[in-house]
Amino acid sequence: MSNLSRRARELGTENAFVVLGEVARLQAEGHKIVSFAIGQPDFPTPEHIRMAGIKAITEGHTGYTPSPGIQPLRDAVAARFSRTRGVSFEADDVVCGCGGKPFIAYSILSVTDHGEGHEVIYPNPGFPIYRSQIEACGAVPVPIDLRERRAFNFDLDDLRSKVNDRTRLLILCSPQNPTGGVLSRQELEQIAEIVKPYDNLWIYSDEVYSGLVYDGDFRSIVAIPGMRERTIVVDSASKTYSMTGWRIGYAANRALAPVFTRWVTNTDSCPPHPNQHAVVEALNGDQSPAQEMARVFLQRRDRIVEGLNAIEGIRCLTPGGAFYVWPNVTEACGLVGAANSEELRKRLLLEAGVAVLADGHFGAPVEGDGEHLRFSYASSFEAIDEGLQRIDDFIKSNKR
């Protein structure tokens, strides 16, 4: 019984968790590692949210729920989306799941057919689960490159050339993982004009960093005229409320909500019951802790961008959202004799004790854009300062 399916053998992964394992092993061996690898807020879940979860358990809310989630949570999500997305949502539009990630597969499975040549356009570099799920679901992955000269947004002519009658889904992520880039209202309007002629083309709008936009207001393509019916809006409690381990996410689309409900029934049955009550409190309760976290992330962004740009061989654009920076390290690789960003990443981990991710963890290299690393600044000011100092010392001591 040693044979595995090709789907299982070729299934991709999220390398942040692979590097997290490397960091844990080195720390267990006594090494002091400064980690910028994992995209997880370092703040505790706000107390009033934790207490709501505990209260739900003590009151016996520990059994199954309806597959799309409890009514108070769907009501809360619909109200939040209506306030922040510029269009009106109802509870029946909303399905809740075990984090935002399952809706990637649910969406692909719902709008493409295995082996029919249906295409899914996704950002590159991008969240690695996009491509792994496109392939696992039997669709055709079509990457669209995010370019540094465009502040890590894609060329609209490139999108226009890739959309065709086989395209069934366009994945957008704003603010972006891994670059921190944010799509403007004008860019969203231009994207909408490109997709409008294609009746079978859906949009998956990954908005899990919607609460972390630093320059201007958050914009969703769902608010662009003509996009309401075809857009799948996906968000979660993970990043905004520092609830990554609570595993509650939500998607909204009137036509697909019943389909997503069946997918949830077939996979997880329902999201964790007490955790749903905690997220009701997160969405409806005091927002000041989330606002304070966002304020600190903005300060950290400015700190790490300034610090990276002060290191020889590194240049870093200022991202508009999320908690990632995507510095260009092409020159730094040359200074220390690293063949590429992955070799530099490994050396930083093993020789400098700094954990980051390489651009290859997020897709194929973008031609002409050079080498990049991803830093998550979901870490303390002290860790940022120490990590940058270690990188600076490493480059200076290994400079050729």
Final residue before a domain boundary, out of 219, 253, 284: 284
In single-letter form, the type of residue at position 193 comes to E
What pLDDT digit, counting tens, does each position of 180-204 carry? 999 999 999 999 999 999 999 999 9
Q: What is the dihedral of CA 160, 319, 325, 44, to 10 degrees?
A: -120
Rounded to whole angstroms, the Cα distance separating 251 from 362 reads 24
Task: Considering only residues 373 and 6, tell me which one the structure prediction assigns the higher pLDDT.
Answer: 373
pLDDT band at 49 (very low <50, low <70, confident <90, very high): very high
Q: Do the Cβ atoms of 149 and 328 come closer than 8 Å?
A: no
Task: Check pLDDT > 70 for residue 218.
Answer: yes
Q: Do the Cβ atoms of 134 and 108 come closer than 8 Å?
A: yes
Q: Is residue 1 part of a domain?
A: no
What pLDDT digit, counting tens, does each position of 319-351 carry? 999 999 999 999 999 999 999 999 999 999 999
Q: How many domains does the chain have?
A: 2
In order of 56, 198, 300, the CA distances from 202 in angstroms are 37, 9, 36
Final residue before a domain boundary, out of 231, 259, 284: 284
Provide the 8-state DSSP code for 46. P
The answer on 156 and 80 residing in a single domain is yes
Phi-psi region of 152 (alpha: psi -120 to 50; beta: other; left: phi over 0): left
Rounded to whole angstroms, the Cα distance separating 368 from 374 reads 18
Provide the 8-state DSSP code for 93. G
The answer on 233 and 148 residing in a single domain is yes
In single-letter form, the type of residue at position 237 comes to A
pLDDT of residue 216: 87
The answer on 130 and 76 residing in a single domain is yes
Whether the bond between 258 and the residue before it is cis, its omega within 30 degrees of 0, is: no
Helix (H, G, I), strand (E, B), or coil: what is residue 251? strand
Q: In this prediction, what percent of the chain has a pLDDT beyond 70? A: 100
Phi and psi torsions of 358, nearest 5° = -95, 160
Final residue before a domain boundary, out of 234, 257, 284: 284
133-149 mean pLDDT:
96
Q: Residue 337 is part of a domain; what is its CATH number?
A: 3.90.1150.10
What pLDDT digit, counting tens, does each position of 100-135 carry? 999 999 999 999 999 999 999 999 999 999 999 999
Q: Do the Cβ atoms of 16 and 345 come closer than 8 Å?
A: no
The answer on 62 and 204 residing in a single domain is yes
361-367 mean pLDDT:
92
Q: Residue 188 is part of a domain; what is its CATH number?
A: 3.40.640.10
Task: Check pLDDT > 70 for residue 282.
Answer: yes
pLDDT of residue 124: 97
The answer on 267 and 373 residing in a single domain is no
Task: Check pLDDT > 90 for residue 16.
Answer: no
Q: Residue 326 sits in which domain range?
A: 6-44+289-398
pLDDT band at 13 (very low <50, low <70, confident <90, very high): confident
Task: Check pLDDT > 80 for residue 17.
Answer: no
The answer on 261 and 118 residing in a single domain is yes
Closest by CA to 108, choosing from 260, 222, 235, is 260
pLDDT band at 257 (very low <50, low <70, confident <90, very high): very high
